Amino acid sequence: MGLLILLGVFAICVVIGMPVAFAIGVAAVSAFSYEGLPVMIAFQRIISGISIFALMAIPFFIFAGELMFHGGIAMRLVRFASSAVGAMRGGLGVVNVFSSMLFGGISGSAIADISALGSILIPVMKEKGYDDDYAVNVTVTSSLAGIIIPPSHNMIIYAIAAGGGISVSKLFLAGFVPGVLMCVCLAAVSYIVAVKRGYASEAFPGFVILFKNFVLALPGLMTAIIIVGGVLSGIFTVTESGAFGAIYAFLVTIIVYRAMPWEKFKLAVTNSVRTTSMVMILIACTGAFAYLLTFYQVPTKMSVFLTGISDKPVAILLMINLMLLLLGMIMDMAALILICTPIFLPIANSIGIDPYQFGMILLMNLGLGLCTPPVGSCLFVGCAVGGVRLEDAVKTIWPFYLAILIALMLTTFIPGISLTLPGILG
């Protein structure tokens, strides 16, 4: 009955429009009260949920991403990507994917990717004769690179939700190949759809222009290299690398690119504070919620349920993927990482799935949920930026879903995709 109250109150709060973080907190306090447990324990769990030093890296990553979003880095990455791959048939679609791979790997945010690159590329693609739905679909789905390719604050949240013992630096390494694989699949689909629709190609600007655009984009690209390289080399902790990355991004946008007027800087600070606040409140409230999931033995019961259906690892993995995908379609990603990790990670471990591999499976599933109705935030933002109705975009987005699913299945059933780099360099 207590578990029913926990989940029922949460569902009711979400349905009536309460923010997810508060819905989680209200549900947890309600269940504590029903069980007769001291409510003070709930608040202790809420406070302890954010009393983790590694969480300090999250506001730094978010701030660095906002600085790069508003500081002209996105435009220079687009120019470099366009000069590198724009000469392909329907090349602007591939440029969009390549740009997302570069910018997403710097900002670590799917929404920032859509907002920054979409506002640049979608109007250009329309002007060049690309259909509105195609431009939006490529932008929306390729934005998931910001979640998978490091640095990603979602990886830090996963490491914390896993209960310790998970190295963020190894998670960063684990995300490289799956992220690039997903972008390759999306680029292939972008090309195929572009050829089918008869889109034209751009003229190759020449190697001189290509090199010039690379040099102009290099200071921005160095942000990701500094953050990830500093962590992997042991020079920085994750938190220190985030702080240094934010400082470097600030200096690049102010001194090198000179594209950060005071109004944009204030906007970057405001957005960073708002996003960080939402993430931290969510993590705090989920601490009490996760405690109750353990109290009600939900991970054990879920394991018994899945193994009762089938004891074959392949079938269990497919069921976990399906559950994560369905949950990702209806809930916020950060909340799901915190809730689903302690439930599904022990099950994955019991069938021989490495925690780092499972982390990539989790992030890819929940990331895909950001691009799907009914509550896919990335899909909504992309449609708003592109001026396309949601139903029109969804009608033609399925080939791009298929590309992500192919990358997801390969990551799920071929451990080496996510584990080779951590094994060699970790």
- DSSP secondary structure, 264-313, as one string: HHHHHHHHHHHHHHHHHHHHHHHHHHHHHHHHTTHHHHHHHHHHHH---H
Q: What does the pLDDT read at residue 416?
A: 94
Angle between helices 91-107 and 207-233 (to 10 degrees): 30
Q: What is the pLDDT of residue 334?
A: 80
Instruction: Identify residue 263 by its one-letter amino acid code.
Output: E
CB burial of 408-426 (b: ≥16 within 10 Å; e: otherwise) equals: bebbbeeeebbbebbeeee
The average pLDDT across 207-212 equals 88
Asked if pLDDT for residue 55 goes beyond 80, the answer is no
327 pLDDT exceeds 80? yes
Residue 222 neighbours by CB distance under 10 Å: 16
Q: Give the mean pLDDT of the chain.
A: 84
* Structural contact between residues 51 and 165, judged by C-beta atoms closer than 8 angstroms: no
Q: Which of 16-25, 86-95, 139-148, 165-174 has the lowest mean pLDDT?
A: 86-95
Task: Write the DSSP string, 51-63.
Answer: --GGGGHHHHHHH
Distance CA 102, CA 117 (A): 11
Tell me the average pLDDT across 344-366: 92
Residue 377: count of CB within 10 angstroms of its CB: 15
Percent of the chain clearing pLDDT 90 (strictly above): 16
Where are the chain's structural domains? Answer: 2-425
Q: What is the mean pLDDT of residues 347-358?
A: 92
Confidence of residue 375 (pLDDT cuts 50, 70, 90): low
pLDDT in tens, 35-50: 888 878 878 877 877 7
Asked if residue 356 has pLDDT above 90, the reply is yes
Q: How large is the average pLDDT for residues 242-264?
A: 84
Q: Please give the structure tokens belonging to residue 360.
A: 């990539």
Identify the pLDDT of residue 106: 63
- Convert the pLDDT of each residue in 70-81 to its tens digit: 777 777 877 888
